[in-house]
Structure 1
Amino acid sequence: MSKILVIAEHLGGKLNPSTARAVSAAAAVKPEIIDILVLADSVEAIATEAAKIDGVSRVLTIARAENAHPLAAVLAPQIAKAAAGYTHVFAPSTTFGKDVAPRVAALLGVAQVSDVMSVDASHTFKRPIYAGNAIITVEADAAHAVVATIRTASWSAAASGTQSAPIEALSLDVALPTHTRFVELKQGKSDRPDLQSASKVVSGGRGVGSKENFEIIYKFADKIGAAVGASRAAVDAGYVPNELQVGQTGKIIAPELYMAIGISGAIQHLTGIKDAGTIVAINKDAEAPIFEVADIGLVGDLFKLIPELEQAIG
C-alpha cells in the first residue's frame, strides 16, 4: 500500500491553502497513510492547523532554528531523510514546491513528476505539457519513491474538520549545508484576497494602457471583492509588480470567476487560467484569442464598460 508524505507550505506561522490541495491529490492515490511534514523554527501553530485537514493520518514536525525560513538547500536534506519508508513525497507546485522538490528528488535519486493534475493509479499521473496545449500521462517507477509537485489549480482543498490528527516530533540526524543563508524577504502587501486562492480575480493587460490607468482594475476588483492579476505584457510594461502575473511564467490559478480586461489572450496567459470556472473577457478587439475561451465576452472600450458594470452592480 502507498504511504504519502505531504510537505507543508507555510509563511508567517500560517499554513498555505496549497497544502490542503496537495492532500486532496494524495487522497486520490488511495493510500494507506497520508502524513504531513512541517518544518519550521516554531511548529506548534502550523502543525495544529495541518492536523485538522481531513484525511491526514499524522502531522510530523521538525523544529530547528535553521528552518525559520524556507531555504530549499536546508529543507531538502531533512525531507529526504524523513521520507524513508514512504512511497510518495508530494509538494504543492508553487514557488516553494518548485524550489524544494527537485532537490529532494535528487537526494533520493529519482526523477521528479511535475505539475500533477490528476491521478490515474498509484504511480500513473497526468500533467500538462507544451504550455498546457497537451496532457501527457506519466508512469513512475514503482520500485522507487515518487517525488511529485501538485498543480494546485487542478485540485480543490481538502476540508478541515473538527477531528485532529496526532502530532509527532521527529528528531533526525542530518548535516545541513551552510553555503545558503537567508538575507531578507520582500513581498507585496495587500488587503485584497490572495491571488492564488481567491474565488474571484480581475486581471488587466496591455490594453489598460498605463500604470495610472490600472487604477480602474484595482477599483473594480475592490468593488466585487476580487483579487487582482495581470498579463505578462502588463507586468513587462511596468503597470504592476510581477507577483500579480498570471500565466505559464506567473501564477496558475483556478478562481470561480476570472475577468480578463484588456488582455488579448496569449497561450502563455491562457495556461494560467485553464481551470477557472467562468471566464469573462473585455477587449476592444473582437478577434482577440481570449474570446475563444471566454464564457462571456464584451467587445468595447474597457474605460466605458467598466464604469457601466460598476453602476449596474450598484
Structure 2
Amino acid sequence: MTESSSSHYQVLRVAVTATEKEIKVAYRRAARTAHPDHGGDAATFRRVTAAYETLIDPQRRKAYDRSYGAGTAREGAFDAGAHFDAPAAGSRASATVRRPDNGRNTAGDAPVYVPPYEGTDVPLIPLAQARQQVHGMPRKRGIFGAEARIQREMRTVQLLTRQVLPAIPAARLINGLQSPADNSHIDHAVLSGYRLALVNSMLLPKGAYAWDGRTLNHGGRAVAPPQLARVVWAMQDIFPELNVTGWTVVHSPDGNLHEPVIDHHRRPAGALETVQIVNAAGMVRGLKEFLASGPAPNTVNIPVLARLLRGMH
C-alpha cells in the first residue's frame, strides 16, 4: 500500500480508537520526521498535516469516520499467495482459499487475524477489541428513540448472538452503522472473512406472505421492506474485496422463528437476489451458509473491521 492511499490513522500511525492526546503526540512525532527542514518530503508532510487537521477536529473526524474513507480496494488482500474464489451472493458454491500443503479453513476454526498482531507496530484497533464478537447495541437515534425499532433490533441481535456467532468464531457483529448511500442507518452488519452481510429487521403479523422482489404481499395488502439494496451496492463499491449481501429478517409478534411464512414463488427459479427477505429461521440458516462458504471464513479481516467500527453512528 502506498502512502498516498493510506488512511489518516495510518499516516499518523495511531489506532482508530486514538484519543485527542494520542493524536497530538503522534502528529508532533510524524511532523518532525516529515518536515522538509529536517530532511523530510514536502508531500508526506502535507499528508501528515491533513491527517492531523481532520482527526483533531471532532466534527471532521466524525464525518471522516462515517465515510468509511480509509484504505483502498487492496486493503484486505494481505496474503498475496492465496487464491480467493468467491461465488456470487446466494450461491451454494463453496468458496475456498488455496494454500500449498494446507487444508481448507472452515468456519468453525479458531479465528486468524489478518494482518497478524505479532510484530505490528501500531495496530488499527486493539487486539482486545478485535476479539469481541459483538460491537455496539441498538440505541436511540436523534432526539426521539423509537422503542418498537429498538426492540425489533434487539431480537435480531439476540438471534445472531445465540445462533450464528457461536458457529463461526471469526464472525463479528457490528450494530448501528451509518449508511454510505444516504442519511439512513444499517441496523446490523456481520463480517466473516471476506463476506459481509447487512441486516435490517421488520415485525409483521403471522401468516403467509409472498415476496415478489419489491413488496411483501399478504391478503391483498402490500408491505414494502426496508430499502436495503442501494446500501448493499454502496458498501460493495467501498469494499470491492468483499462479497456483500443484504438480509431483511421478518420477526413474528410471538417470537416463533418459523413465522411469518415467506414464499418466493413469484421469483424466477434460481435467481440471485441482492437482498434476501426471510423469517428468523431462514436468516439463521441462510446467513450461516453464506458466511461459512466464503473464502477463509475463520479470518478476522482487521482493516475492514476497523473501517466498519469507524462507521458506527
TM-score range, shorter chain: 0.3 to 0.5
Give the number of the structure with larger relative contact order, counting CA–CA contacts within 8 Å between residues 6 or more apart: 2
Greater share of residues in strand: 1
